[in-house]
Chains A and B, each alone.
Chain A
Amino acid sequence: MELAVSCKNVSKVYDTGGQKVTALNCIDLDIIIGELMMLVGPSGCGKTTLISVVAGILDQDNGSCELFGENLQDMSSKDKLNFRARNIGFVFQSFNLLPSLNAAENVSIPLILNGMKRFEAERKAVTVLEQVGLGDRWKFLPSQLSGGQQQRVAIARALVHNPRLIVCDEPTSALDHVTGQNVMTMLKDVAMHKERTLVIVTHDARIFDFADRIAEMDDGHIVTVGGIKAKKLSLNSAS
């Protein structure tokens, strides 16, 4: 079993004007290549902080976090950027599309950052938009798309450069139930294959079924990691 992510003893303390908040407290977590891992837990328990560290956009204070066998903290900032640009796709709760770029242009950004020429990148972007069912909307601005469509554009953007890891923070929270389900189905269909790993932060119990494994966090710790069945039981007994 090869590991996509291997966090050992990872800690992160935020220091806001003298007040210290321990967001991550000695986290150990392994995520296997090809699996869909969900991170769940109460608000403020450190989920977003953890995937920020995993995705290499936030430095931990202690411990190590390896991505595909490489330690991002040991890299120069340039190598880190290149590594991110090549290997990681992002999906956000609030979509974070650039409002003045149309769907195809938004989706083309990761390709351009990886050195592809603009027109080629946009052509490629349109094909990925087709995969998420928005082939006919490539010219639309984000403001002309529904929430679910915007999230699909965001998913296309996370996929377009064929990254090995996609991190998603609450991808369905801004969407209604049906749309959320559709987006998840699509995400799983289009994004998942044996080379790609997905880490999804969520508190939306209705999408737990999509997970291969679920890690439950509380107060900066990982409480349990288990298969979906076990998780459902533990969540039910907790409530």
Chain B
Amino acid sequence: MNHIALKMLMGDKGKYIGIIMGLTFASLIMTQQPAIFVGLMSRSYSFISDVGLPDIWVMDAKVQFVDDIKPLQDTELYRVRGISGVEWATPMYKGLLKVRLTDGTFQTCIVVGLDDSTLIGGPPVMIEGKLDNLRNSDSVVVDIDGARDKLGKPSPTPGAAPIPLKIGDTLEINDRRAIVAGIAKVTRTFQSQPVIYTTYSRAKSYAPKERKLLSFVLVKAKKGQDIAELTRRITKTTGLAAYSQAEFQELTYEYFMHNTGIPINFGISVLLGFIVGAAIAGQTFYNFTLENLRQFGVLKAMGASNLILLRMILLQAVLVGSIGYGLGVGLTALFGFAMRNTILAFKFPWQLLLFSGTGVSLICIFAAFISILKVIRLEPAIVFKG
């Protein structure tokens, strides 16, 4: 009876496409909205993942997330270096500084100061120039989005896009000259300000004079050294907080989850998408069964058991479910691909496939279930009704 179930399903092209479209739409919003959510939330810690190389981040014990800078004294760096199990430890400055552009306007930028000798913690991708250029005096590396937009020079024709900053251009940070020596690509964060990389000592000279300017100490563990053990040792010896990269990402992520409206706002839109998708898909499939009730009645009168009809409905549900899911996920992937170079946050981990797959399955099972109930309760005597 399987081929009959399939023909019933596909016989009416309009309805068939309708059901598939409903399910495609459902899987699309069930994948795309969470993908944006995951993308957005991963931005909270993308600065940490961009830095990549160190195993451990050391910071003030009160720091709650990556943008919550509570500076340390430079001496802390040497204390950390002295701890056994530490392969190397480098300083990092991270702060918001006012940058004066060539046209005289000011723009707040994230300035990152990297260890002078190793330049550890630099941007993940250099687009123009080399990170090593930072060793030249006054040089900085600017992120491409900032260079194109907020740091760009105003266009001579009013209303047109600004002229991007390029290598050799100069800026002024806190009255000190900075020469652009490279353009980098960084992963977007929640902070929309341009990112400027320079060396640690130069960053200190840009920053307002303070006793404490060290934001983080980045630590690489010795080969074979247990990371968790080393973080505990650092905390115990220095009284500072030490997190593995994953822990620090988690800390930051949790902070944003608990202290911003993003999760609840997005949660609602994901939930709503789920409900709308479920309603549309479930409704169209249930309607399909209702409209075919008479056909099921005829089969029942002719001696088809409930089990046979149940298998037919399940097969129909599984088929439309898989096609709809495939299309929905495919469209989401296309969407993500089309948006890859835009400001839109979008991340599509496999867990999400599982999530929307489960969602669509639930919808189909539910729709099939209520359809099956209807068919089981069906009196075959309806076949004689006009």
Residues of A within 8 A of B (CB): 48, 51-52, 55, 57-58, 78, 81-86, 88, 90, 92-94, 96, 98-101, 105, 109-110, 112-114, 118, 169
A9 smallest CB distance to B (angstroms): 20
Residues of A within 8 A of B3 (CB): 118
Q: Which of B366-386 contact A (CB under 8 A)?
A: 379-381, 383-386
What 16 additional pairs, Cβ within 8 angstroms, besides A52-B384, A96-B294, A113-B308?
A: A48-B385, A51-B384, A57-B383, A81-B303, A81-B304, A84-B303, A86-B303, A90-B298, A92-B383, A98-B11, A99-B11, A99-B295, A100-B10, A112-B1, A112-B4, A113-B302
Q: A84 CA to B381 CA in the complex, in Å?
A: 13
B302 touches A101 (CB 8 A): no
Residues of A within 8 A of B381 (CB): 52, 57-58
A153 smallest CB distance to B (angstroms): 13
> A100 is contacted by which of B12, B384, B385 (Cβ under 8 Å)?
B12
B93 smallest CB distance to A (angstroms): 71
Residues of A within 8 A of B384 (CB): 48, 51-52, 92-93, 169
Q: A92 CA to B382 CA in the complex, in Å?
A: 11
Task: Please classify how large the interface on chain B is, using the bins under 10, 10 to 19, 20 to 34, 35 or more.
Answer: 20 to 34
A113 touches B304 (CB 8 A): yes
Residues of A within 8 A of B379 (CB): 57-58
Residues of B within 8 A of A118 (CB): 3
A97 — nearest CB in chain B belongs to which residue? B298
B304 — nearest CB in chain A belongs to which residue? A113
Question: Residue-by-residue, is B1-24 near A (CB-CB < 8 Å gives 1, otherwise 0)?
Answer: 101100110111000000000000
Residues of A within 8 A of B300 (CB): 57
Residues of B within 8 A of A82 (CB): 303
Can you spell out 21 A-B residue pairs with CB atoms less than 8 angstroms apart?
A: A57-B300, A57-B379, A78-B305, A82-B303, A85-B302, A85-B303, A86-B303, A90-B302, A92-B298, A93-B386, A96-B294, A99-B11, A100-B8, A100-B10, A100-B11, A100-B12, A112-B4, A113-B1, A113-B302, A113-B303, A113-B304
B301 at the interface (CB under 8 A from A): yes
Residues of A within 8 A of B301 (CB): 55, 57, 84, 90
Query: Looking at A81, A88, A93, A110, which has the most chain B CB atoms within 10 Å of its CB?
Result: A81
B302 touches A110 (CB 8 A): yes
Residues of B within 8 A of A (CB): 1, 3-4, 7-8, 10-12, 294-295, 298-305, 308, 379-381, 383-386
Residues of A within 8 A of B7 (CB): 98, 100-101, 105
B6 smallest CB distance to A (angstroms): 9
B356 smallest CB distance to A (angstroms): 30
> A98 is contacted by which of B295, B305, B380 (Cβ under 8 Å)?
B295
Residues of A within 8 A of B304 (CB): 81, 85, 113
B379 — nearest CB in chain A belongs to which residue? A58
Q: A116 CA to B7 CA in the complex, in Å?
A: 19
A89 — nearest CB in chain B belongs to which residue? B302
| 8 closest cross-chain pairs (CB), A and B | A100-B11, A85-B303, A57-B380, A84-B303, A58-B381, A52-B381, A48-B384, A96-B298
B383 touches A90 (CB 8 A): yes
A173 smallest CB distance to B (angstroms): 9
Q: A82 CA to B300 CA in the complex, in Å?
A: 11
Q: A90 CA to B8 CA in the complex, in Å?
A: 20
A94 touches B386 (CB 8 A): yes
Q: A103 CA to B380 CA in the complex, in Å?
A: 22
A84 touches B10 (CB 8 A): no
Residues of B within 8 A of A88 (CB): 303
> A96 is contacted by which of B1, B8, B308, B383 (Cβ under 8 Å)?
B383
A143 — nearest CB in chain B belongs to which residue? B11
Residues of B within 8 A of A55 (CB): 301
> A105 is contacted by which of B4, B294, B298 (Cβ under 8 Å)?
B4
Residues of B within 8 A of A81 (CB): 303-305
A98 touches B383 (CB 8 A): no
B313 smallest CB distance to A (angstroms): 15
Residues of B within 8 A of A83 (CB): 303
Residues of B within 8 A of A98 (CB): 4, 7-8, 11, 295, 298
Residues of B within 8 A of A85 (CB): 302-304
